[in-house]
Structure 1
Amino acid sequence: MSATTQYFIIIILYFVAMLGVGFIFNRKVSSDMDYFLAKDKLGPAAIGFSFSATQMSGSTYLGAVGQCKVLGYNFIPAAIASASAPWFSYILVGDRMRKVSSRLKSVTLSDVFEARYGKSSSLISVAIIIIASIPMIAAQLKAAANSFEVLLGIPYWAGLLVFGGIVILYTVLGGMFAVAWTDLIQGIIMIVGFAILAPVAVSAAGGFSQMHAAYAQINPAGMGFTGVMPLLWVVSGFWVYGFFQIGGSPASTTRFLITSDDKTLKKALVYSVGFQSFIYICFTLIAIAAGVLLPALENTDMTVPMLMQNLLPPIVGGIVLAAALGAMMSTIDSILLMTGSLVTNNIYVKMMHGESNSKKGLTISRVVTLVIGLLGLVVAINPPASVLWIVTISFSLMASAFTFPLMLGLWWPKCTKAAGTAGIIGGAVACVFWYVMGYVQFQSFSNWPLGIWPAIFGGVVSLIICVVVSLFTKKPSQEVIDVFFDDILIKD
């Protein structure tokens, strides 16, 4: 049996299983609230793995491993921050969002913005998320199609249609039930995949000590936390991949709306941190080993596929490939569901006065999710070259726009309606401006003035705007204060 045939068998079985989950949970969905949130119907393992699997997209398995191969330990602070991202998100916004969303019966992050800052902030947030999300979907689809092309010899367009069609179909069928349970399965496969590849790659590179000695000769600047990139770039990367996940990954943040039970959310956090910590430890070992084993590889996005092809038997390689595909699928399905809920709930229901929690509302939800998935497929036909930087730009835009307006909205009663809306707009504009400045100076989207990441620059601008505008505009109404702060304010 040829290697290609063995790869095909593993991947076909994997795809059939994912579709099976979609069909099984199709029966459990009776309303659009079930479809988008499965409110209080998921356990901590499903919520925790779904939170993390959504964050760890194809950029983790492909783009980020390749980038770490080039940058060495300069990239490690970002990896450490990524593993700690669930802590940042839960402590700073998670529990507050859980409480507030239960009072508001929120379906989306934009519902929270609307209740706190008004309809204009909701519509602006919807627009920013959709603009940023479609390229992210396209990036994951591109990564999958490239992997099929390299490992299975399938034409790019065919891999794109097969992979995209399957993930769109099970998401459309099963909604949040299917998304969370497939994320759990995919997360377990991701752990198995990296648990296999990491020790094999380190061994092939000569063992831990010899691997580092060889890497130091190939890339001496990459052996410290700084050297390849400026210090501010490294420090900014830590904050971006950790703290700024609060606003930069709204598909993950939406998981805080799923349960109204604090104990469930805390247990989910444990699953999430454990999962991400394991992945990023293995991630680092694989990247450094790849620097030794594949020093001349030009397309760094293909680092993991090439290691699989060179080091693993096809059946085992098929499991690792399934893990990589799982990382891509878990991000696509969550983004699809999130954008579908935004269009359905915040535009169709609230602006067009459509029906909610009905068969018609559920049908609209599925149609919208399908259309957004197809748009992602169209964009993926001819996307930019690097998976990592497509995802990073989209992430930075949302992180700049949402991080501080969301945090201040949940924790600072004096943050005003005008300030929140202005902070969202100002953060997004500042982020785009900083990317433009970086491109003008370096002709690159991965280098920026002073080494400061656009998400940091945009986020700080957003924070300043929120604080300054709050000092000069009308205070929030008592109704808003009661909904958002009645548990942390002592009333006279």
Structure 2
Amino acid sequence: MAYKNSRSMHRALIIGTIVVGFIMLNMHLIGVFARPILPGIEVGDKVMPLIAQEVLPAWLAGIVLAAPMAAIMSTVDSLLLLVSSAVVKDVYLNYIKPDASHTRVKRMSFGVTAILGILVFLMALSPPDLLIWLNLFAFGGLEATFIWPVVLGLYWDGGNKYGALASMIVGIASYIIVDQFFPNLLGMHNVVVPILLSLVAFVTISMLTKSFIQNQSAYQDQLERSV
């Protein structure tokens, strides 16, 4: 998001923190306060719709429930388009068939979007007990994958693209393996070991490829001078 100046950005940080904190606090309090009103709730994800139907008029409950459904639909279709675009443009066009025609690209986009939609639908048929577990799993994967490319990419001069790529691959792969086959490895949260492994991968590969990067840069400079 763009901002007019640094003062506006700092003000937005403060206002955004207050607004988001207020919203999140009240959302969680709704779940807590719903217990006395609806003591028989067994699935936490049903709290919001049930409490809306219980305490609000029918017309207002319909509006309240329509809002998150609209947000869900908007988010899902945006993510489907984002993933299909990444697959088609970043993978197919860059590495498989760079000279693909517009019609071919359009068909590929439709096909990838349809396949992803079907997979998501099939996964939704057997949801977890609480959707928050799915969110936590996703955020853990993002953390294990991108924490060191972002942090060390900004603050360590010795990092390079090969170290970042190795860190991302090791981070996401180790996170999935630990979460699925070795939960709470060494008595720690599933994300701790993958973060440590991705750190080792980033530092090790960056140091091993340092001379290669330097030689590559020198060769590129030589080519530019010769031209």
Q: TM-score range by the shorter chain?
A: 0.7 to 0.9
Partner of 2:50: 306
Q: What SS does the corresponding residue of 2:49 show, helix, strand or coil?
A: helix
Q: Superposed, which structure 2 residues align to 1:73-472 within 5 Å?
A: 263=4, 273=17, 276-355=20-99, 358=102, 361-362=105-106, 364-435=108-179, 436-438=181-183, 448=184, 452-472=188-208
Judge conservation of contact 2:178–2:190 (CA < 8 Å) in 1. yes
TM-score by structure 2 length? 0.73
Aligned pair count reads 213
Between stretches 422-431 and 301-310, larger displacement belongs to: 422-431
Instruction: Report the residue type matching 2:89 in the other structure.
Output: N
Change (3 A) 1:437 1:367: closer
Deviation at 1:339, TM superposition (A): 0.8
Change (3 A) 1:432 1:474: same
Listed one character per residue, the Cα deviations across residues 414-460 of structure 1 (whole Å, up to 9, x for unaligned) are: 1134422321222123323442333xxxxxxxxx4677432344223
Judge conservation of contact 1:426–1:462 (CA < 8 Å) in 2. yes
Q: Which has the higher contact order (CA 8 A, sep 6+)?
A: 1
Instruction: Report the residue type matching 1:465 in the other structure.
Output: A
Change (3 A) 1:360 1:432: closer
Find the aligned partners of 2:35 and 2:86 in 1 and give their Cα distance: 42
Change (3 A) 1:430 1:340: same
TM-score by structure 1 length? 0.37
**Structure 2: tracts of 5 or more residues without a match:** 218-227
Change (3 A) 1:425 1:366: same
Q: Superposed, which structure 2 residues align to 1:28-39 within 5 Å?
A: none
Instruction: Report the residue type matching 1:392 in the other structure.
Output: L
Find the aligned partners of 1:296 and 1:474 in 2 and give their Cα distance: 61
Instruction: Report the residue type matching 1:316 in the other structure.
Output: L
**Structure 1: tracts of 5 or more residues without a match:** 1-43, 45-260, 439-447, 482-492
Listed one character per residue, the Cα deviations across residues 290-326 of structure 1 (whole Å, up to 9, x for unaligned) are: 2333344211121111111211111111122122213
Find the aligned partners of 1:396 and 1:374 in 2 and give their Cα distance: 25
Are positions 1:474 and 2:210 aligned together?
yes
Instruction: Report the residue type matching 1:470 in the other structure.
Output: S
Q: What SS does the corresponding residue of 1:454 show, helix, strand or coil?
A: coil
Change (3 A) 1:284 1:391: closer
Q: RMSD of aligned C-alpha atoms?
A: 3.6
Identity percentage of aligned residues = 28
Judge conservation of contact 2:80–2:116 (CA < 8 Å) in 1. yes
Between stretches 329-338 and 299-308, larger displacement belongs to: 329-338
Q: What SS does the corresponding residue of 1:415 show, helix, strand or coil?
A: coil
Listed one character per residue, the Cα deviations across residues 369-401 of structure 1 (whole Å, up to 9, x for unaligned) are: 333223212322334443222332233223212
Change (3 A) 1:462 1:352: same
Q: What SS does the corresponding residue of 2:159 show, helix, strand or coil?
A: coil
Judge conservation of contact 1:301–1:387 (CA < 8 Å) in 2. yes
Find the aligned partners of 1:479 and 1:411 in 2 and give their Cα distance: 23
Listed one character per residue, the Cα deviations across residues 64-113 of structure 1 (whole Å, up to 9, x for unaligned) are: xxxxxxxxxxxxxxxxxxxxxxxxxxxxxxxxxxxxxxxxxxxxxxxxxx
Instruction: Report the residue type matching 2:201 in the other structure.
Output: I
Judge conservation of contact 1:417–1:476 (CA < 8 Å) in 2. no
Find the aligned partners of 1:480 and 1:290 in 2 and give their Cα distance: 62
Change (3 A) 1:307 1:424: same
Judge conservation of contact 1:415–1:475 (CA < 8 Å) in 2. no
Deviation at 1:476, TM superposition (A): 6.9
Change (3 A) 1:367 1:281: same
Find the aligned partners of 2:147 and 2:101 in 1 and give their Cα distance: 30
Find the aligned partners of 1:326 and 1:277 in 2 and give their Cα distance: 22
Judge conservation of contact 2:144–2:172 (CA < 8 Å) in 1. yes
